[in-house]
Structure 1
């Protein structure tokens, strides 16, 4: 099976560390440390201080360059060849997880905390809670998710988790739910109930894969893949900032229609 076919079938693809991505990760880690400790980013420290969510916190430029080092390597070349390079790379999310994850925030419900503990806070990126009732809508469709490990961490240090094949289950369920709705209105549709029901089905039918990464290794996720973060296991090893991954999630050209219809 080719890498392209594997991504379409499984919803994820791992890239070994190469010289270009290793150099990028080495340049990005000091910038990530600055962002993690910056006072203006204090609101990104979540779950009792055990996770720095860091959305768009890395100060890379629109080409992905950081500290003078270009974003390059096999993963980036694959994206350009098979998915189309973004017109501009977004500022990367810095996901830094510390021992004890998931801690519990004040005001977090029992159900929400149990879901993070038992189901890895499984979610599909871009489905955001909107309005006072926090109903899920496809408000931020991404083209893909590219995660690059910035530091050394053991396999038990809260790795990325993905449910293999879940992207096609999500696609089929959402397209069925939106059948008969004009495409121009898709972004405004409440997908909460179908999303929750489909997520439960995925837990029962799709294999759960833990995907620990070494520095400079990368994971490419299909934009519709259900994924999350595993709890930190006792004895897991990582750097002072915990397990740190930079995630790129550029916007999907064509919006929600292309987000669901494109392979």
Structure 2
């Protein structure tokens, strides 16, 4: 079964809008795990506009499933990974000012940089993943960099799903087959939801993990967190 990792950034956004500690990010992470999620994802940014670096350190003490920390691998990010030693570090090429991750790595142009980062992360015993567009050349480049996994950036799939889901998913299945042939693990994330998730899973049956935040937390406002996680897990059943 494909694992569901819940991105809890939006919980921190809500908390930060008012101050104090409501909602409690650490308690929500515990609840997500209690309700069946197999991972917790965070993406701390330099301005700490949602998840704070202190949150990540607090979560380190309580997350019992797979802890995945996304981010651009600057010195602050690397220092955090060295302290926390999460199950997985997902490298994302976004500059500090962007609202959300909006592109994958050019794994050829950034090969030397990524190779050095990946070697350091592996030396700490952390599984590595590189965020990439559904482009077979970028998948090949990721393998050459030495990553353990890739995460396919799924915004284009989500955008095209309602127009022609078969065409929308085709670049992703091609990229997934390339990754499998190269021995890479496969994750996916961005704009996945209860409408489009099951079809992606059917098209890529060996998908190892999806990371979902915005849609899942939005659905939880109507359905409650426990029921929402149950429904997302149902979409991922083999």
TM-score (normalizing by structure 2):
0.26
Larger Rg belongs to: 1
Larger helix proportion, structure 1 or 2? 2
TM-score (normalizing by structure 1):
0.25
